[in-house]
Structure 1
Amino acid sequence: MSHEQLPSSHSADHRTGFWQELPRALSVKAISTGVVAALFGCSGPALIVISAANAGHLTNGQTVAWLFAVYFLGGLISLVMAIRYRQPITGAYSIPGAAIMSVALVSIPFAEAVGAFIMSGVIVLLLGVSGLIGRIMRWLPMPIVMAMIAGALIRFGVGAVESVGAAPLIAGTALVAFFLASRFLNSVPPVLVAAVVGFVVAYFSGAVQSADVDIAMVAPQFTLPHFSFDAFMAISVPLAALVIGAENAQATGVLMAEGYRPPVNAMTVISGIGGILAGALGGHNANIAGPMTAICASEQAGDDRDKRFGATLVNGVLFCLFGLFAGMAVPLILALPKALIASVAGVAMIGVLLAAFQQAFTKSVGYQVGAFVALVVAMSKLSLLGISSPFWALVAGILVSELLGEAAKTRKHREAAGPAAEH
């Protein structure tokens, strides 16, 4: 089956029609997981965008336009992909991309940055239309991809542990509630229990406080793009590499780890279109997002993987609303303790991380050393040429595997084992 085909092995589900499937997809587990994903995406990441806007001395109207662009379009991508493919392919924007804008906007005028945002989307769109990304993803050794996913997402698990050190009562109670619910409450999503219990503890302990964010309730102010070679090299190229090498690659790997057949080229195309439209509105990009997809694709979103797209639908609606009411919503979301969000997001990743580790380091599939190298590089804070560690994890893992001859050994082993060894 092609990566571009619909994922489910139950073709009847797709003949039934979206509206017939919707009630079953919007289960309590899917809704609660979609809310958790939205809380994660609308908290710390929003502050990174605001910080980048402040570094570029943007007006409140330009900042609100930026938030509107990335959140509304990111939510729209979620809705489109979930409805079209019935997979938890979740849209947002590149968080590392927002972070590098804090540096770029110090020296690059915002009008030139807007032009560079648009050009970045054009690059991604052309790569998607050409089908090149799909061919690359089919060529990549799956153990190395899974190791990259494990390394890139392990920070969520570590973040959950560190949140206990930062706020022992809030995070600790949330984690205990999650594991107790996992054991004794089969009918209630453990991640929902953890979020509710953690919020109650945080509220009564006085940890829920208004955030000091200077965004007035003003109309979005859009900026006419100006195109320059300097901005293209400083922003367009690294941002496109982040969207493809970090976000889309993570999302694709996560979906494969959960048993889906993601439409890789379509994911790249819509990320390119989202980048162009977001750039035109003054946002750095809107694309398929790795961490958001990981949360919505996890087993916390439901036992039936064919219905987990409901979590993406919920997340998409909440993202759209957040984008529409950014000036009002940002302070409310940021009032929640970071430790609570980190702990809940961490436990939501357990299933994805377990699947990634198991598929990366199963001895029978080979690539052991290459997968380990990919793991540690993805876990690092390596950044070269403006591109973050997930991309370099794939490069390093493949390079080491080739140097050690792991790929050749794996091919010989499969040939010797016969057709039964092929997957």
Structure 2
Amino acid sequence: MEKRTIVETGPGIAAGLRDLPRHLNLKTAGAGLVAAIFGCSGPALIVIGGARNGGLTDGQTVAWLFAIYFLGGLISIFLALRYKQPITGAYSIPGAALVAGSLAAFSFNEAIGAFIMAGAIVFLLGVSGLIGRVMRWLPMPIVMAMIAGALIRFATGAVSAVGSAPIIAGAAIVAFFVSMRVTKTVPPVLSAFVVGLLAAFAMGSVGGGSADIAFVMPEFTAPAFTLDAFLAISVPLALLVIGAENAQATGVLMAEGYRPPINMMTIVSGIGGVAAGLLGGHNANIAGPMTAICSSEQAGENTEGRYAATVVNGILFGTFGLVAGAAVPVVMSLPGALIGTVAGLAMIGVLLAAFQNAFGKSLGNQTGAFVALAVAMSKLSLLGISAPFWALVAGVAVSFIVDRKALLDSERKSLATS
């Protein structure tokens, strides 16, 4: 039996840097750009809106944005180069919504202390190796069904955008499939973005962003540690990072044929959570949807080179964090229909792989996989934890009841490879 270390080894940063130039091309750069635009647009509004509702100053808001975007970019660059996998860093979007709501009951000082404690929880779970063992034990069909259910909203969002902005969304969709048919050089998702953006300009739909933060220096806030904030913010936020973002990213990478370093992803997410808290942000961790974009076939046919998309994304993300106060209004001027359409189109390959790996005829745990799909597609939220986590719990529970043999077979296979 091969001895497994807690912190997974990889090719190393030197190897990642050495091979990076030959993997940088239009497809990897295009996927990295699309992922960055996705992460720097709508999700930023959640943070800005939460900061405004919580009475934060512009300096505190910019510090929050700097923490999560700059550190998220560093996570992308570090993990992509070390493991030569498209492991993309950002922050938890549901976590931002959770924090936005909690600011009505807690001071920002208490919230900062809770952010740091949440990062510490994630770090301890990572160094224990527990998360890695759990993720390797989970039956693949259930994990893949969770991924399909969690990401299907991006595909349906692209369809919904046709109703709200038919010319912009329609132009992007047509460009995507025509580009897929006529050329292998230009990534279809980049064609969709360019054509959609031209249509948006023609329609006069670019401009008028809702964010109006001027460029100001970040204002850092001293943490205050309280038990109430720990229970109300730290524990749910830590579970969101592990059970939603990291679990999604892990499943996506597995679906694309990678062997993700689960323990290191958890450890880095914990360190990112503590560091982001010290800088004034709610967490910096592995991003599920952005990892899906950078690891998809839109980043090129060569899976070994897709990590270059994450490096491009990391550079753009980190730069956005450095100039957040001035950059947010520019990105917010892009129409939401365009961003939603392009993000949905970028998910097609990931969703196809997830469905195939969840419901193939030769696979077991089919009932549990269907339950995981249904729960992940829902808007379920219990104990402050969103649907993807409960999808895994429900899928395993149902498999244990109705298909215990297939579940035990998955466990034996996991032990055999540990």
Contact kept, 8 Å, 2:269 with 2:286, in 1: the verdict is yes
Equivalent runs, 1:251-400 vs 2, <5 Å: 251-400=249-398
CA distance in 1, matches of 2:277, 2:337: 32
Contact kept, 8 Å, 1:278 with 1:284, in 2: the verdict is yes
Report the counterpart of residue 180 of structure 2 in structure 1: 182
Contact kept, 8 Å, 2:399 with 2:407, in 1: the verdict is no
CA distance in 2, matches of 1:259, 1:319: 26
CA distance in 1, matches of 2:272, 2:409: 43
Report the counterpart of residue 156 of structure 1 in structure 2: 154
1:331 is matched by which residue type in structure 2? P
Instruction: Give the 3 Å change call, closer, same or farther, for CA 411–60 of structure 1 in structure 2.
Output: closer
* Divergent runs of 4+, >4 A: 1-7, 409-415
CA distance in 2, matches of 1:174, 1:217: 32
Equivalent runs, 1:60-209 vs 2, <5 Å: 60-209=58-207
CA distance in 2, matches of 1:355, 1:124: 29
Q: Output the TM-score relative to the length of structure 1.
A: 0.94
Contact kept, 8 Å, 2:13 with 2:81, in 1: the verdict is no
1:393 is matched by which residue type in structure 2? A
Contact kept, 8 Å, 1:42 with 1:333, in 2: the verdict is yes
Contact kept, 8 Å, 1:370 with 1:397, in 2: the verdict is yes
Query: Number of residue pairs matched?
Result: 413
The partner residue of 2:216 within 218, 228, 244 is: 218
CA distance in 2, matches of 1:337, 1:279: 31
SS of the residue aligned with 1:225? coil
Is 1:408 matched with 2:409? no
Q: How far apart are residue 407 of structure 1 and its match? A: 3.1
Instruction: Give the 3 Å change call, closer, same or farther, for CA 120–409 of structure 1 in structure 2.
Output: closer
Instruction: Give the 3 Å change call, closer, same or farther, for CA 187–368 of structure 1 in structure 2.
Output: same
Summarize deviations over 1:223-281 as a string: whole Å, max 9, x none: 00000001001100000000000000000000000000000000000000000000001
1:128 is matched by which residue type in structure 2? G
Contact kept, 8 Å, 1:64 with 1:219, in 2: the verdict is yes
Report the counterpart of residue 234 of structure 1 in structure 2: 232
CA distance in 2, matches of 1:289, 1:246: 9
Of stretches 21-30 and 271-280 in structure 1, the one that deviates more from structure 2 is: 21-30
Q: How far apart are residue 212 of structure 1 and its match? A: 3.1
Q: Output the TM-score relative to the length of structure 2.
A: 0.95
Q: How far apart are residue 410 of structure 1 and its match? A: 5.9
CA-atom RMSD in angstroms: 2.0
CA distance in 2, matches of 1:207, 1:414: 53
CA distance in 2, matches of 1:376, 1:299: 26
Q: How far apart are residue 100 of structure 1 and its match? A: 1.2
Instruction: Give the 3 Å change call, closer, same or farther, for CA 90–335 of structure 1 in structure 2.
Output: same
SS of the residue aligned with 1:106? coil
2:252 is matched by which residue type in structure 1? V
Instruction: Give the 3 Å change call, closer, same or farther, for CA 411–221 of structure 1 in structure 2.
Output: closer
Summarize deviations over 1:96-133 as a string: whole Å, max 9, x none: 00011121001100000000000000000000000000
Contact kept, 8 Å, 1:210 with 1:332, in 2: the verdict is no
Q: How far apart are residue 414 of structure 1 and its match? A: 11
Q: How far apart are residue 16 of structure 1 and its match? A: 8.4
CA distance in 2, matches of 1:212, 1:53: 14
Q: How far apart are residue 220 of structure 1 and its match? A: 0.3
Instruction: Give the 3 Å change call, closer, same or farther, for CA 395–183 of structure 1 in structure 2.
Output: same
Unaligned stretches of 5+ in structure 1? none
The alignment-based identity, stated in percent, is 65
CA distance in 2, matches of 1:187, 1:93: 32
2:88 is matched by which residue type in structure 1? T
2:96 is matched by which residue type in structure 1? A
